[in-house]
Amino acid sequence: MRAIGMGLTCLAMLAAGGGATCRREAPQPQASQIEKADQARKANKADEMSNEVKKSDEQWRAELTDEQYRVMRQCGTEPAFSGKYWNTKTPGVYLCAACGQELYDSQTKFDSGSGWPSFFAPVDEAHIATRSDTSYGMVRTELVCSRCGAHLGHVFDDGPDPTGQRHCINSAALELKERTE
Cα 53 off chain centre by? 17
pLDDT band at 10 (very low <50, low <70, confident <90, very high): very low
**CB contact at 8 A, 78 and 172:** yes
Share of the chain above pLDDT 90, in %: 69
Burial of 121 (0-12, 13-18, 19+ CB in 10 A): middle
Is 75 labeled as catalytic in the residue annotation? no
| 2-13+30-178: CATH architecture | Beta Complex (2.170)
Domains in the chain: boundaries: 2-13+30-178
In what side-by-side order are the strands of the sheet with 166-169? Answer: 109-110, 118-119, 166-169, 151-156, 140-145, 128-133
This prediction's pTM: 0.74
pLDDT value for 33: 52
Tell me: the pLDDT tens digits for 23-45? 544 444 445 555 555 555 444 44
3-state secondary structure string, the chain?
A: CHHHHHHHHHHHHHHHHCCCCCCECCCCCCHHHHHHHHHHHHHCHHHHHHHCCCCCHHHHHHHCCHHHHHHHCCCCCCCCCCCCCCCCCCCEEEEECCCCCEEEEHHHEECCCCCCCEECCCCCHHHEEEEEECHHHCCEEEEEECCCCCEEEEEECCCCCCCCCEEEECHHHEEEEECCC
User: How far is it, in rounded angstroms, from Cα 7 to Cα 116?
Assistant: 9
Tell me: the pLDDT tens digits for 144-168? 999 999 999 999 999 999 999 999 9
